[in-house]
Every structure is written in C-alpha cells, then in structure tokens.
Amino acid sequence: MSFGFMGVQIAFALQNANISRIFLELGADPTKLSYFFIIPALMGMIVQPLVGKYSDRTWNRFGRRKPYLYVGAIVATIVMLFLPNAGSLSMSFAWARAFAITMLMLLDTSINMAMQPFKMMVGDMVNEKQKTKAYSIQSFWCNTGQLIGCLFPFLLTWLHISDKAPDGEIADSVVFSFYAGAAILVVCVLVTGFSVKEMPPQEYAKYNGNQTEKSDTKSDSMFRLLAKAPKNFWLIGIVQFFCWFAFTYMWAYTTPGIKSLVGSEAGVWTGVCFAVQAVASILWAMVIPRFKSDKMAYSSSLVLGAIGFAMLFFMKDLCVMFSICPEYYKYMLFIPFVLIGCAWAAMLAMPFSMLTKSLTNNIGTYLGLFNCTICIPQIIAGLLGGSILGLIGGAPITMLLVAGVMMLFGAFAVAGIKTNQK
C-alpha cells in the first residue's frame, strides 16, 4: 500500500534538496531563498483538501483514492523532465527563474495530488490498533525515497557526471537526477496501483463497523467540517505548526548555512546530509512503535530534532573545541542530521496515526484539511524568513538555530494532545 510513496518522496526529496541550489544558479538572491518555499506549501494547502474531499466521494472501477494518485504521478513525471532544464532554454535569468517557478508550482501540485492518497488509504484500510505501525511503515518507505532522492546528485558526481555548469544553467548531476527520479516514480506508483485493491462502499462500511458513508456523501462544506473537527485536529495542528516552521528553514538555509564548513561542496553535501537524515529516519521509524505511548514517541523524537538543529549552529565551535581537523568538519554534520532524522520520522508517522484514531468519517477530507497544518507554517516561515534573517545578523546558519527553538516548542506542545480523543 505504501510502496508507491517511495517514488513520490524521491521527487519530493529532489525538490527540497535542490531547489535552493537551482534558484541560486539562476541568479536568485540568497537572502530571499525562503520565499521560494512558499510555493510548495501554498500548492499543498489548495490541492490536498480538494483531493481529500473529492476522493471521499469517488467510487469507480479504478478505486477511491487511486485515480488521484495516477493523475498526480503522471503530471509530476512530466514536470520533472522540464524543471531542471530551466537554465538551458536560452532565456534571460529573469525568464529562467519565472519558468522554474512555474514548473515548481506544477510539480508541487502534482506531488501533493499523488501523495495524499497514500495517507488516506491507510486511514481507510487499516484498523485502529495497527495504524501507528502502518504509518511507521509508510514513514520507512517515505524516508527510503528521500534517501535515494537526496543521494542521486552525489552518486552521479561520483560517477563523473559534472556537478558544475556555466552561469545560469543547472549542473548535469542535478538534471539527470530528476530524470532518474521521474522514471522510478512511475514504476513505484504502478506497483501500488496494480497490487492494492481498494474496498468498495459496502465492504468499506462493513470493515468500519457497518458505518454508512452518508456523512461522506453529504455536501458539507469544508468550513462546516472544520467547525465539527475533533479537538485533536487542532491540538496536533499546533505541534505541526512549530515542526514544519523549523523544517522550512532547514530546507532553505542548509546549503548557504554549511558553506563555511564545507566550502564549494555545499550544494552536493546538502544532499548527502539529507540522505543521512533519511537513513536515520528509516531506522527511527522502526523504533517508534516500541514506545509505550504515542505521545512519548512524538515528544522525544522532536526533542532530539531540536538538539540536532542547535548542533548545526554550534558545529564549527564544537569542532574547534574537540580539536577536529577542518577536513573532517563536513563529516561531523552527520551527527545533527541523525538527530533531525528522528524528528522527521515522527513527523511523518505520529500526527496521522493520532489524528485518524480520532476520526470516524470524512477521513479523506479531514486528512486533506489537516495538510494545512503543514502548509500554513511553511508559508508563514517563508514570508518571515528574510526579516528574521536580517534581525539575527544575516548569517544563514543562524536560521537553523531558530529552527531548533521552534522544534523544541513543538515537543512541549505534544503534551496538550488528548489520547483516544474523538
């Protein structure tokens, strides 16, 4: 059920690890990088609630959620072939950036359309006792995809595919990474599509305690459903706000932030660090179900992430303190990214497990609306990024300390979540 999620996350990882680099190579102002991360969040906030709402009402021979998965995957595949070529179309820097922004919007629209069905299928087809485990498995495949996506440019560079490009163009290692990611996305989605049979309405109702789908077929507006949302929808949303605010700054500022440690390798090394984060997330996803309570797993993971972000800010001082040779500085970055990976694993599994246990109907719509708790903090973080950077002295690495503070707030907010809350 979740295998196809790996392909979607390869696309997502390629985007997150390389967007800053792409726009920098297209002449973007480094202090404005956070603004580009508003686009993915805005697309997610629009697309995922709509996919949730309409897939709740879709029952046909292709399935309930799968039709949206197929459309999203096809569009994402096409866009991934165009986005990395933004600098190779004989356009000015301004027009190349405009083209890249347009492709980024289309990529995020399609990725969100393909991503949401996986979360919904678990909510539809997995019983309450197994949901934490099921979402942890989904987190495993998600992070496997992120590992592959983040490592692609590094591996292609190792295979002697150029990591350099003329001004205004994108390096071949990035371009071919997007091509490979597009091919894998298609294969992974087809595996899930052909191997998973979604329940027809009668079977779905019987599996879920003979509940009818009346509430799912009413014309309740999304605003009405929000008014009737279970309390945990909002309580978990508070945690989500702090966590996704933090990760927005990690994606936007890691490349310029670690440049003082790794020099000109920063672009490629960001992908390696994100791959380390993905490996840690894969392993931590196996640990999460072993915690005695969901809240303990969630809060502990976020505390580890907060420590990791803080370590990134102090990394140069820590290396000097422990007399580490400068040539090993870049490898020391693996330690904080392991800790950040623990937080990421929990963010992918725990909110959805805890929320779906609180839902009895309109699961797709609520999961789509819940995505706004991911998108809104990214939009706010993106809008405030330049101002915060100016207030704290203009050093991009400082934004990672801001991320750590926000992650710690998220860990504290977990205490407010109610267990077994309907």
CATH number of 3-197+222-416: 1.20.1250.20
At 225-244, the pLDDT tens digits run: 888 899 999 999 999 999 99
Using alpha carbons, list the distances in angstroms from residue 32 to 29, 379, 386, 394. Answer: 5, 13, 6, 11
Is residue 309 over pLDDT 90? yes
**Percent of the chain's residues with pLDDT above 70:** 96
Non-local CB neighbours of 83 within 8 Å, separated by 6+ positions: 22, 100, 103, 104, 107, 178
Q: 39: closest CA among 116, 97, 118, 115?
A: 97
Average pLDDT over residues 70-93: 85
Copy the structure tokens of residue 169. 């163009």
| pLDDT score, position 164 | 83
> How high is the pLDDT of residue 407?
98
Give the mean pLDDT of the chain: 86
Q: Which position has the higher pLDDT, 384 or 23? A: 384
Say which residues have a Cβ less than 8 Å from residue 165's Cβ, sequence separation at least 6.
Answer: 25, 87, 171, 172
Mean local confidence (pLDDT), 398-417: 96
Q: Please report which helix (H) or strand (E) contains residue 336, including its range.
A: helix 334-356
Q: Report residue 217's pLDDT band, with 50, 70 and 90 as the boundaries.
A: very low
What local confidence, expressed as pLDDT, does residue 10 receive?
Answer: 92
Annotated domain spans of the chain: 3-197+222-416
Question: Over 80: is that where the pLDDT of 221 sits?
Answer: no
What pLDDT sits at residue 420? 61
pLDDT of 380 > 50? The answer is yes
Tokens for 181, please give them: 């990611």
User: Which residue type is seen at 200?
Assistant: P
Burial class of residue 220 (count of CB atoms within 10 Å of its CB; 0-12, 13-18, 19+): middle
Residue type, 31: T
Give the residue among 352, 351, 59, 353 at the shortest CA–CA distance from 205.
Answer: 59
What is the predicted pLDDT for the residue at 223? 82
pLDDT for the residue 216: 46
CB 377 within 8 A of CB 338: no
Residue 353 to residues 48, 349, 412, Cα–Cα distance (Å): 18, 6, 19
**Looking at residue 377, what is its pLDDT?**
93
pLDDT cut 90: percent of the chain above it: 34
Cα–Cα distance, 173 to 157 (Å, whole number)? 6
Pairwise pLDDT comparison (127 vs 301), residue with the higher score: 301
Confidence of residue 422 (pLDDT cuts 50, 70, 90): very low
Angle at Cα 298 formed by Cα 134 and Cα 127, nearest 5°? Answer: 25
Q: Are 65 and 192 in contact (CB under 8 A)?
A: no
- Among the listed residues 293, 406, 298, the one whose alpha carbon sits nearest the alpha carbon of residue 345: 298
**206 or 328, which is more confident?**
328
Query: Averaged over 138-145, what is the pLDDT?
Result: 85
Of 171, 147, 108, which is closest to residue 10 (Cα–Cα)?
147
Give the 3-state secondary structure of 91-149.
CCHHHHHHHHHHHHHHHHHHHHHHHHHHHHHHHHHCCHHHHHHHHHHHHHHHHHHHHHH
DSSP symbol at 359? -
**pTM to 2 decimals?**
0.74
pLDDT value at position 211? 52
pLDDT surpassing 80 at residue 280: yes
Q: Cα separation of 300 and 408, whole Å?
A: 10
Cα 270 to its chain centre, rounded Å, is 16
Residue 329 has pLDDT above 60, yes or no: yes
Q: How confident is the model at residue 42 (pLDDT cuts 50, 70, 90)?
A: confident
pLDDT at 214 over 70: no
pLDDT for the residue 243: 97
At 306, the pLDDT band (50, 70, 90 cuts) reads very high
